[in-house]
Structure 1
């Protein structure tokens, strides 16, 4: 089902397919009734807009966790490097300015809480129960495992865990997101709801 977003989502840099974003929107619309939503890996805010637009329906918020220095694949010389997001002065990637501008343009600032920090540091003293955790951060095994271990334990019973870029076939993409997806299912704490392209959606039992 088509949804109405407050911004042209095609204008936001990112790697989330439209039907994956719409699935996130519908998921967040339900999950935000259970608690706030949280995403790991906001980049320029494409997924954040889907999530926050849904959270607005229940006057809840999405915590957007990202250090905004780019994952491994975003660094200079790597496949997904975007020179427009490279801060020449600091000689570092910086997607936060672009992220903040997109959230402001979408008029969603009252429903988005940016947390500009590495995932593990942001989670260190976290105590807020969450209705949804969306993991789309770094794709190394260490980064994906850190995100899963840091945040999945805060999901309330009946809440949701969504993991992006699941590729069962190694020829199609990196395996770290698929590894934590399998780990979640094997834990007996989560059950599979559905998959939408590369987006896996699980429910906390």
Structure 2
């Protein structure tokens, strides 16, 4: 059984909104600590910044940089009337979910404003003309098949040889969760460009060949 490594952070992570298990967080941190020494890291789907804090703290420790990409309008399940809707993150004046204010506050409290570069845009839009090689891509954005495929097709090709592709919310059993993340995970392996490193809880780690 895996025991998460202790990670000392300047914020109480139990108070940060998000959906990341402790063992997944520890695995992300360790992967980012190694990868960020080679090139920047890209996170797709920041929400309020829980995973961003782990990835960003690893970048801070190694002197690296994290791009945190999110349109900050919430995924399908965060919308009004849906299962994971949070009224505290709903902008009534605009009639839209808005997680960016919460995200910025969390980055400030985690002392990561000099290591995390927010990109407020859709994944497809941000990828247009992107040319910076990436040492690691963490996909945890929208869980519809269209959104997951866009994330994979837009960003996996920018990962350097030996770099890491991490995908969250892998559920082999459809009764346990949506199938889009595990579909792109299997596509990455089937492409012959990636090999499996490990699966921790619902987090899959792949290496670019």
* Shorter-chain TM-score tier: over 0.9
- Hey, what's the Cα distance between the residues in 2 that align with 1:5 and 1:25? 11
> Shift of the alpha carbon at 1:170?
0.2
- Hey, what's the Cα distance between the residues in 1 that align with 2:38 and 2:158? 12
- TM-score normalized with structure 1 length: 0.99
Matched, 1:14 2:18: yes
- Hey, what's the Cα distance between the residues in 2 that align with 1:117 and 1:85? 18
Q: Does the 8 Å contact 2:37/2:63 carry over to 1?
A: no
Alignment of 1:39-188 (within 5 A): 39-188=43-192
Structure 2, unmatched stretches of 5+, are none
Structure 1, unmatched stretches of 5+, are none
Q: Does the 8 Å contact 1:34/1:156 carry over to 2?
A: no
> Shift of the alpha carbon at 1:3?
1.2
- Hey, what's the Cα distance between the residues in 1 that align with 2:110 and 2:62? 17
> Shift of the alpha carbon at 1:120?
0.3
> Shift of the alpha carbon at 1:118?
0.3
Q: Does the 8 Å contact 2:164/2:207 carry over to 1?
A: yes
- SS of the aligned residue for 1:110 comes to coil
Question: What is the aligned residue count?
Answer: 205
- TM-score normalized with structure 2 length: 0.97
